[in-house]
Structure formats: C-alpha cells, structure tokens
Amino acid sequence: MQPKHSKARWIAAVLMIPVSATLGPALPFGIVFTIFILVFGRVAAGVVGGARVKELHSSDEVAELLLMMLAATAGLCSVWLNILFGRD
C-alpha cells in the first residue's frame, strides 16, 4: 500500500533533496570531528596546564557548535518525517 501525497508534499520533498544531499552526509562527520576536538582539547589542557577551569573555557564555543550540529540533524530528520508522514 503506497501512501498518497498531495502535490504540495511532492514539491516540498523535491526541494528538500538538494539540501539533504549536501547537508545530510556532512553532519555526522562534523559531529564526530567536533567531539574529537572537544575530547582531545580537554586532554591536552590537562596534560599541559593541569586542567584549570580558565583553560577549559575555550571549549565553550566548540560545545556550542556541537549542539548546533545536533539540532540541525534533528531538524533535518523532523522535516523529512513531516513531509513523508505529515498530519493526515
């Protein structure tokens, strides 16, 4: 049984394909590398400077970037779920 979608849903799906094709594959790599930077940045701060709190404040921006990438992943999934399954 195939779901019947309206013309507007098909247009939205076609318009989302380029966004998903460019952004979708890049997000997991960005998330993994950002976690890598956070972990090894904290390890390096601990090895070099004794892990003082002031030295670890530089990772706040990287953590914020990680949260934005996670939100982008959730948003992209949410848009596709809404297009495919909707409220009908």
| Span 19-45, pLDDT tens digits | 888 888 888 888 888 888 888 877 776
Phi, psi of 3 (to 5 degrees): -70, 140
| Residue 69 burial (CB count, 10 A) | 19
Torsion of Cα atoms, 79 then 64 then 34 then 72, to 10°: 10
pLDDT at 1 over 50: no
Digit-coded pLDDT (tens) for 41-77: 777 766 655 555 555 566 778 888 888 889 988 988 8
pLDDT score for 28: 87
Task: Using alpha carbons, list the distances in angstroms from residue 5 to 29, 51, 67, 81, 85.
Answer: 33, 56, 33, 13, 9
pLDDT at 78 over 70: yes
What is the C-alpha separation between 20 and 76, in angstroms, rounded?
7
